Chains A and B, each alone.
Chain A
Amino acid sequence: MRRMSRGLHAGAVLTVLSLLLWATPSARAAGFSIFEQGSRATGMAGAVTASINDGSAMFYNPAGLADNKQFTAMGGITFLIPDQEFTGANPYPGSSYTVNGKSMIFFPMNLYLAMPVGEGMNLSFGSWFPFGLTTAWENPDQYYGRFISKRAELRHFAFGLQFSMRVNEWFSFGLGPELRVSDVKLFQGYPALNPYTNRVVEVAHVQVVSDGMEAALSFGAGIQFKPTKKLHIGFAYHGSVDQDYTGEAIFFSRPTGYADFDARVAGLAPLDKPIPVETAIQFPATWMTGIAYDFTDCFRVEFNANYMQWDIFKETILKFGTVDGKTLPTKVIPQNYENVWSYRVGLNYKLGETTEFMAGYVYDQTPQPDETTGPLLPDANRAGYTLGASFSPFKNVYTDLSVMALFFHERTTTTNDNNFNGTYKTFVWIPTIGLRMNF
């Protein structure tokens, strides 16, 4: 994967799309990846790699657009409605301690445009959000995990340009570059031991924000086989990205009321002024495999097994610049993610030419080890159940609806690196709506 020069900004078109696609997605697939990139596909729990043929094929399998015969536009919104609760354990933050995730609704969007450029050939352009993260907790200035993270935001968009082609009756492929654009924000408290009271106090509120959107280049590719009339097989791949960020950190001072103590804190770090900061985040490669079978002309079942190479995400390093002759030590946040599989089953039933019903199930493993599961991102294995429907209210216009109930397994940590242990309970409703138009 080639890395583009740091600070590269997307062009005007991408900027407009960025605005259109603004959203702060919360991680709803393994780690902070996101797999809900189209309503029809989500209705089948994302088990579509072997059979997808709408615009979302840009994500699920670029080969799926080889047979597109019209100019097609597809757009959708995914609503993410998380409900998160944490109960602490001794020795920290304490067995009587509970805190809820901040109530939030996110609605990341996707947009795909596809255009045939010849017999069995298609060119497509689109944007989706393969990764994203927002975690925030109630009473951020009081809760006991504030020295790890008060709020974390990561937005990561993919802008793809793909060419798809049918080679023969049973084989097609698609591939193309992807521009990955992202930014990151982190808010946390900075602790110190107040020697006058022997109590831990927050002496600064830290805000780390990247400069605008940083970009890097990757690619996606896929193939679809159709060895028999009823059997579909697909493989797809999206490359990894090592994304660098530059930005600034500000340590907003929080006076304690002890003047000489506050002065000492001020002597250790440059307060209330921007400090240059650099960091990087590694986004994993994704492998998708799928097999679908048409039991009848109107009933299809597909099974997918997807693999994400999360082991690229080993640590997050924050390097601070020097201000007023003071240089903060480099902060290293271990991640040590592991490669994981997800398994998806989807059902599709066609009622006539324009109406479809979908259902699905997904089991998604978390790549996050116990040691790094914490307030910054409390991930867990999860199981999701989906329903979906698609119908055509007007000629050449299709409306897709789906909903996923995503149950995170209750996760109890005992070996967190920050000794912040307890039990996380998470549930997410994910309704989606999409619109497809053929011209």
Chain B
Amino acid sequence: MKMTRLFASSAALAVAALLSSAPVEAQNFSKFVQIGDSLTAGFLDACLVKYGQADSYGAILARQAKVGEFQQPIVDEPGLGGCRKLTAIAPSPQFAIKPSTGKPLNLTLPRPYDNLGIPGYKVSDTVDAKTSADNGNPLTDLVLRGLAGGTTQLQQAASLKPTFLTIWIGNNDVLGAATTGTVIDGVTLTPKAVFDAKYKTIIDTMKAAQGGTGAGVAIALPDVTSIPFFTTISPVITTLNGQPITFLSARNNTGTPAPIPASSIVTLLASTFIGTGYGIPCAVLDAAGAPANHPQRANCNKPLPDTANPLTGIPGVVLYPEEVTALKNRTAEFNATIKSLSEAAGYKYFDANALFADVVANGRLYGGVKLTTAFLSGGIFSYDGVHPTSTGYALFTDELIKFINKAYGATIERPDMAAFMFNGNASSGGFSPTISFPYTPEEALKWAAEIFPPETHKPFVEMFGGKLKAGPLVPDSSSETPVRGDEDFVSRGTETRE
């Protein structure tokens, strides 16, 4: 099954924890329901798959709170979306992509799932989308299944009349702009007014469904620009002679390529382009003594794409400082809305943004082992650089349980982090890696198409006066697509923030 919005589904973050044990006397968890996106769904390694869903933060919370029944839309191995599997770390990380052929295992449940998290969802999807046709997201049908003649995520959650609710929606209202390197208010970035209205609908509907109790937690949106997808590749290249320079790009993909400001963000997707020379001044290759046939000479002095190309689906991989500021500001605005609306309705506001910032700054120490947000080596983020590992979800749930216990006077037992740290979420066996990272041009376009789905195209199409037709992406053979090449220079020439 084709999965769209791979990374768009995600949101940002990061962080932490679990919860558990029965505060029966303090808080009724007999019907625990979740509204959310990929972070609620247990998405990781760029896919929706059983080994991630089993340890979604809701699943961990339900176990710890001793919830009798907690149903999720479990997807069997090898998952949907193409789970990434690390196949090598030297000279640069190599990933295989598993086939996206996982079968749903819980489709016949005659009622809505308790975990209604749907990867890629924005606040408008939660309120308005009843089928995949409404939002172009195939996972809508997987989770909502047209129950009751077609109902939205919000309607299904309300129909369950939860005694306890978590709401963690809105990450994709920011993240899509960030992962595509294309920050356009009203296009890739959800306008504040739209967000406020939709979120209010969610809060009002659920409070009414809960009999006005407001029992539950509304979770803030983390600062997406702090996740490994945006922090692993430094904008600064350290040349062989030690002179620091920045990559080349061109604002809005127009004009003469120029060094980007040092406070810019270069996304993880840029490694595909950097591998073939994009963004690297030819003078750097000269100084490094790169031979004439060095693969990076093919595209040196050419800019890293700044914004997404609606024709090819190739995303931008650079966020200029003002774009970063815009993302942070909008996140802050959304969080202000979440806090004010949720608390006014009686829900507790869990500041996942502050938590994530703390984890980014300090990591978490367990028994002499420090978990950090570093890509691949930190233990908290999965192979997609956006979603947590099972350990990361456990860490988040642990923090959430501490919050719930304090806010509600509950006594939910915190999760056992050792079980996650020493058992991991390894998905070993059976799959022969055939595709490596960085991608071939075809793979890069396929990935870009997943990240930059047709529904995101629509505003672009409209911007161009409807001359473009939204639909499946077709590679533009005339465009300067990257080619897979030797990573030798990249491994020496890029500085990572590990």
A residues lining the B interface (CB < 8 Å): 88, 90-97, 144-148, 188-189, 191-193, 195-200, 260-261, 263-264, 417-420
Contacts and interface: CB of A to CB of B under 8 A. Distances in A.
Contacts, number: 100
A189 to B, nearest CB: 8
Given A90-B414, A90-B416, A198-B426, A261 B367 contact: no
Contacts of B415: 90-91
B342 interface: no
A191 B371 CA distance: 11
A94 B421 CA distance: 11
Interface in B387-413: 389-391, 394, 398, 413
B366 A196 contact: no
Contact of B379 (A92, A198, A260, A417): A198
B153 to A, nearest CB: 30
B369 A191 contact: yes
A147 B368 contact: yes
B287 interface: no
Nearest to B426: A197
Given A92-B366, A191-B368, A264-B89, 15 more contacts: A91-B18, A91-B414, A96-B416, A145-B367, A148-B368, A188-B368, A193-B377, A197-B426, A198-B390, A199-B426, A200-B422, A260-B90, A263-B90, A419-B364, A419-B367
Which of A145, A200, A264, A418 has the largest count of B CB atoms less than 10 A from its CB? A200
Q: Which 3 A-B pairs have the closest CB atoms?
A: A147-B368, A199-B424, A94-B416
Which of B367, B382, B415, B421 has the largest count of A CB atoms less than 10 A from its CB? B367
Contacts of B414: 90-91
Contacts of A90: 20, 413-417
Nearest to A90: B414
Given A91-B366, A418-B368, A198 B391 contact: yes
A72 to B, nearest CB: 49
Contact of B421 (A145, A200, A264): A200
A145 to B, nearest CB: 6
Nearest to A149: B368
A88 B365 CA distance: 16
Interface in B368-383: 368-369, 371, 376-379, 382
Which of B90, B377, B421 has the largest count of A CB atoms less than 10 A from its CB? B421
Contact of A92 (B20, B90, B417, B428): B417
Interface of B: 18, 20, 86, 88-90, 364-369, 371, 376-379, 382, 389-391, 394, 398, 413-419, 421-426, 428
A295 B73 CA distance: 82
Contacts of B367: 92-93, 144-145, 147-148, 418-420
A189 B368 CA distance: 9
A369 B361 CA distance: 26
Contacts of B416: 90-97
Contacts of A88: 418
Contacts of A417: 365
Contacts of A193: 371, 377-379
A332 B389 CA distance: 29
Contacts of B398: 91
Nearest to B89: A260
A195 B368 contact: no
A420 B88 CA distance: 33
A198 B391 CA distance: 8
Contact of A197 (B364, B418, B424): B424
25 contacts: A88-B418, A90-B414, A91-B398, A92-B367, A93-B416, A94-B417, A95-B416, A144-B367, A146-B368, A148-B367, A191-B369, A193-B371, A195-B89, A195-B376, A197-B426, A198-B379, A198-B390, A198-B425, A200-B379, A260-B89, A417-B365, A418-B367, A419-B364, A419-B366, A419-B367
B419 A94 contact: yes
B418 A144 contact: yes
B378 A199 contact: no
Contacts of A192: 377
B377 to A, nearest CB: 6
Nearest to B425: A198
Contact of A195 (B365, B377, B391): B377
A415 B89 CA distance: 36
A91 B20 CA distance: 11
A261 B413 contact: no
A246 to B, nearest CB: 24
A165 B88 CA distance: 76
B104 to A, nearest CB: 25
Contacts of B389: 198
Contact of A264 (B20, B90, B368, B382): B90
A149 B425 CA distance: 27
Contacts of A198: 379, 382, 389-391, 424-426
A379 B425 CA distance: 36
A140 to B, nearest CB: 13
B440 to A, nearest CB: 22
Nearest to B88: A260
A199 B427 CA distance: 11
Nearest to A91: B417
Nearest to A421: B367
B187 to A, nearest CB: 36
A261 B90 CA distance: 8
Nearest to A191: B369
Nearest to B367: A420
B64 to A, nearest CB: 9
Contacts of A199: 421-424, 426
Contacts of A195: 86, 89, 376-377
Nearest to B17: A91
Given A91-B414, A91-B415, A419 B365 contact: yes
B366 A197 contact: no
A196 B426 CA distance: 8
A418 B422 CA distance: 16
Given A91-B414, A193-B378, A418 B419 contact: no
Given A195-B377, A418-B367, A95 B418 contact: no
Contact of B368 (A95, A145, A261): A145
Which of B378, B389, B416 has the largest count of A CB atoms less than 10 A from its CB? B416
B419 to A, nearest CB: 6
Contacts of A189: 368
Contacts of B423: 199
A144 to B, nearest CB: 5
A421 to B, nearest CB: 9
Nearest to A376: B368
A90 B411 CA distance: 13
